[in-house]
Structure 1
Amino acid sequence: MATVELTTDNFNDVVGGGGTVLVDFWAAWCGPCRQFAPVFDEASEKYGDITFGKVDTEAQTQLAAAFGISSIPTLMAVRDGVVLYAEPGALPAPALEDLIGKVQAVDMDEVRAAVAAQQTEAQ
């Protein structure tokens, strides 16, 4: 599956839906971003059940600001609308594979219960 260009117009629809979405926040001038791009693209071909999206932080400044992106590349993993991972840095292929495995192994029922408990405590 090819990567999806994420914009303010489609971000919520793509990332807020069900399933797993990996988001790469990047910019054309960023050397580490250019190094990470082929790793990200290769993974997108391998994992057809995962949506791979890219946010050009220069073109989508509102999205970058909304997520507090201060270093790029930043990779974010979202599953069923819940952000499970968001860290800056270009991952080598084995580390990206490991992250994908961990995200897929998360028990989302436990995550939703923990989120609900935190929301109840905050009220």
Structure 2
Amino acid sequence: MSDKVLHIEDSQFEQEVLNSDKPVFVDFWAQWCGPCKMVGPIIEELAEEMENVKFVKVDIDQNQEYAAKFGVMSIPNMLLFKDGNIVNRQIGALPKNELKAFIENNI
């Protein structure tokens, strides 16, 4: 597991995501979610490659406050934040090249 991907709880969300000085890619996921497990290694690879973006994972079973606040109804649900605001959302798994393009096109 990459140490570049930060696993956070609701109590850390404001500090790590909303107050971040660089764009933040947030993956709302759960242990039981098959597509989430497929996307996990891709996110870790992108975190190693993309130094200009912070990568964060939030387990929705343990942390429901922000998942509910941002209307996360299905997972994987990946939100891109810039200056504390959502700039785009990707619902469902994507191959690495498409996920990288999603991030680059929105930051």
TM-score, with structure 1 as normaliser: 0.80
Report what 1:40 is aligned to. 43
Quote the offset at 1:82 in angstroms. 1.6
1:64 maps to a residue whose letter is: A
Q: Is 1:31 aligned to 2:23, yes or no?
A: no
Equivalent of 2:54, from 30, 51, 55?
Answer: 51
Quote the offset at 1:63 in angstroms. 2.0
Runs of 4+ in 1 over 2 A off after TM superposition: none
Report the secondary structure of 2:89's partner residue: strand
Percent identity, aligned pairs only, is 34
- Greater Rg by CA: 1
More contact order relative to length (CA 8 Å, sep ≥ 6)? 2
Matched-pair contact (CA < 8 Å) for 2:29–2:60: yes
Provide the rounded CA distance (Å) in 1 between the counterparts of 2:65 and 2:105.
29
Report what 2:12 is aligned to. 10
Report what 2:86 is aligned to. 83
Quote the offset at 1:61 in angstroms. 1.6
Matched-pair contact (CA < 8 Å) for 1:26–1:57: yes
Q: Is 1:72 aligned to 2:78, yes or no?
A: no
CA RMSD of aligned residues (A): 1.1
Matched-pair contact (CA < 8 Å) for 1:26–1:55: yes
Q: Is there any run of 5+ residues in structure 1 with no aligned partner, and where?
A: 105-123
Higher helix share: 1
Provide the rounded CA distance (Å) in 1 between the counterparts of 2:54 and 2:29.
17
